Amino acid sequence: GQVTTSGARLIDARSGLAVNDIAAEVSIGGVARINRLTGTLSTRGSLSASGTVGITPAQGFPADLSIKLTDGRYTDGRV
């Protein structure tokens, strides 16, 4: 199968971090293969990712991921 999205948003309420304009294409077979994943950070910058994640619980969900942050910034208000 295949999962795609565009224009999605992910928010972590505890940290206040949000990823906007998420575009993704994931193929699902014996593993979930991230063919394309991009987004922009609410605090400036962008991210992209690719790789695989196992989908069999007995195998412990092994992952081989590559994540790239460009001009990323994170502030938690405590530092």
Q: What pLDDT, in 10s, does the model give residues 26-74?
A: 999 989 999 999 999 988 899 999 999 999 888 999 999 999 999 987 7
CB of 53 within 8 A of CB of 61?
yes
Comparing 10-19, 21-30, 61-70, the range with the smallest average pLDDT is: 10-19
- pTM value is 0.80
CB of 51 within 8 A of CB of 34?
yes
What are the residue ranges spanned by the domains of the chain? 2-70
Q: Is the per-residue pLDDT at 11 higher than 80?
A: yes
SS3 37: strand
| The pLDDT of residue 43 | 83
Cα radius of gyration (the chain): 14
| The pLDDT of residue 13 | 86
